[in-house]
Structure 1
Amino acid sequence: MTGNVNHGVNSLITEDSVVLYWDKPENGPAVEYRIYVDGDLAGTTGKTHYSIRNLQADRGYRVEVRRWTGSGEDGIARLYLRTQAKRKRLDITRAPYYALGDGRHMNTEAIQRAVDDCGPGETVYVPAGVFLTGALRLHSDMELYLEKGAVLQGTDRVEDYLPRIWSRFEGTEMECYSSLLNLGVLDHNKGYTCRNVVIRGMGTIDGGGKKLAEHVIASERERLKNELAALGDRISECEKPETISGRVRPRLINLSNCQNVRISGLTLKNGASWNVHMIYSDGIITDNCRFCSEQIWNGDGWDPDSSTNCTIFGCVFCTGDDAIAVKSGKNPEGNRIGRPSRHIRIFDCRSQCGHGITIGSEMSGGIEDVRIWDCDMSRSRCGIEIKGTKKRGGYVRDVSVRDSCTARVLFHSVGYNDDGGGAEKPPVFERCKFENVRITGEYLEDQDGWKPCVAVELCGFQEPGHELRDIVFRNIRLGKPGSADRQAVSLQFCENVIFDHVSTG
Structure 2
Amino acid sequence: MKNRLFLFVLFLHAAILGYAATAPKQLLAAPGTISATSATMVWENTAGSTLYHVMLNGKEVGTTNKTNYIIAGLNQLQTYSCAIKAEDAAGKLSAAGKAVKFTTTPQGKVITVTDFGAKGDGITLNTKAIQKAIDACDEYGTVIIPEGTFVSGALFLKSRMTLQINKGGTLKGSANTEDYEPFINNRFEGWEMKTYASLINAGTMDSKGNYTTSQISIKGEGTISGGGGALGKAMIAKHGMRSRGRLIMLLNCKDVELQGLQIKDSPCWTIHYIYSKGITCHDMNIVSNAHNGDGLDPDSSDDSYIFNCSFSTGDDCIAIKSGKNPEGYTIGRPTRNVQITYCDFTRGHGISIGSEMSGGVSDVLVRDCTAGALLHGMQIKGTKERGGYVKNVTVTDCQLLKITIFSALNYNNDGAAAPEPPMFENFKFANIDLTKATLKDPVININGFKDAMHKLKNVRFNNIMLPDGAKVVVNDAQNVRFVNVKTLNGNKPEYTLNNSTETTYQ
Q: Name the aligned partner's letter for residue 421 of structure 2.
A: P
Partner deviation per Cα, 1:431-486 (whole Å, 9 max, x = no partner): 1001111124636xxxxxxx74311001111111111110000111112xxxx124
Partner of 1:93, secondary structure, is helix
Query: Conserved in 2, the CA contact under 8 Å of 1:389 and 1:415?
Result: no
Partner deviation per Cα, 1:347-397 (whole Å, 9 max, x = no partner): 111112112310000011111111111111234222110001121111111
The residue number in structure 1 matching 2:92 is 72
Residue 67 (structure 2) pairs with residue 48 (structure 1): yes
Query: Conserved in 2, the CA contact under 8 Å of 1:392 and 1:426?
Result: yes
C-alpha distance in 2, partners of 1:15/1:278?
25
C-alpha distance in 2, partners of 1:339/1:154?
31
The residue number in structure 2 matching 1:175 is 194
Query: Conserved in 2, the CA contact under 8 Å of 1:441 and 1:455?
Result: no
TM-score (normalised: structure 1): 0.87
Query: Conserved in 2, the CA contact under 8 Å of 1:363 and 1:395?
Result: yes
Aligned-residue Cα RMSD (Å) equals: 1.9
Residue 39 (structure 2) pairs with residue 15 (structure 1): no
Q: Name the aligned partner's letter for residue 361 of structure 2.
A: I
C-alpha distance in 2, partners of 1:208/1:374?
33
Partner deviation per Cα, 1:297-351 (whole Å, 9 max, x = no partner): 1111111111111111111101111111100111121111111111111111111
Match of 2:429 among 429, 434, 457: 434
Gaps of 5+ in 1: 1-5, 221-244, 444-450
Match of 2:396 among 386, 389, 402: 402
1:409-428 alignment runs, 5 A limit: 409-412=403-406, 413-428=408-423
Deviation, 1:20, is 1.4
Partner of 2:454, secondary structure, is coil
Residue 363 (structure 2) pairs with residue 348 (structure 1): no
Partner of 1:219, secondary structure, is helix
Residue 380 (structure 2) pairs with residue 360 (structure 1): no
Deviation, 1:140, is 1.3
Gaps of 5+ in 2: 1-23, 489-506
C-alpha distance in 2, partners of 1:176/1:389?
25
Deviation, 1:418, is 0.9
The residue number in structure 1 matching 2:249 is 254
C-alpha distance in 2, partners of 1:353/1:267?
16
Deviation, 1:218, is 1.1
C-alpha distance in 1, partners of 2:34/2:484?
42
The residue number in structure 2 matching 1:286 is 281
Match of 1:386 among 380, 387, 390: 380
C-alpha distance in 1, partners of 2:76/2:285?
27
C-alpha distance in 2, partners of 1:318/1:150?
21
Deviation, 1:14, is 2.4
The residue number in structure 2 matching 1:306 is 300
Residue 446 (structure 2) pairs with residue 458 (structure 1): yes
Q: 1:39 to 1:189 in 2, by over 3 A?
A: closer
TM-score (normalised: structure 2): 0.87
C-alpha distance in 2, partners of 1:271/1:325?
15
C-alpha distance in 2, partners of 1:92/1:287?
25
The residue number in structure 1 matching 2:145 is 126
Deviation, 1:122, is 1.1
Deviation, 1:174, is 0.5
Give the count of matched residue pairs.
Answer: 459
Residues 32-41 or 56-65, more deviating: 56-65
